Amino acid sequence: MKVSVDVDCTPAEARAFLGLPDVTPIHDKYIQSVLSSFDGVASAEQMETLFKSFSPLGDAGMRLFKQMMDIGLSGVPGGSGEKK
C-alpha cells in the first residue's frame, strides 16, 4: 500500500509547523550590513576583499568555491576549468 500526502504551505508556515525559530530579523540585519558595505566599492580588488570578509570560511571558503566552479566548468567545452 502506498500513501501520498501533499502539503501546501509557505516556507514560513513549514518552519513554524516544524518548530524552527524565525530567523527573519537576523537575515534582514545581515543583508542590510552586506548592502551597506557595498557603498563606496569601486574596484574589483575591493569587491573581492569584501566577499572574502563575508564568506563563512573566509579565504578557505573562497578557494573551495573556486575549485567547485572549476570542476563544474571542466565538463563545458571552452570552460575556464579545462586543463591545457
pLDDT at position 71 = 83
Of the candidates 49, 52, 84, 78, the one whose C-alpha atom is nearest the C-alpha of residue 65 is 52
Domain ranges of the chain: 10-42, 43-73
Whether this prediction's pTM lies above 0.85 is answered by: no
pLDDT at position 84 = 47
pLDDT digits (tens, 9 = 90+) for 15-53: 898 899 988 898 899 888 877 877 776 777 777 777 777
C-alpha 71 chain-centroid distance: 18
Name residue, grid cell 570578509.
53
Residue 68, CA distances (Å) to 31, 61, 63, 74, 82 in order:
25, 11, 9, 10, 13
Name residue, grid cell 574596484.
43
Taking residue 45's Cβ as centre, other Cβ atoms within 10 Å add up to 9
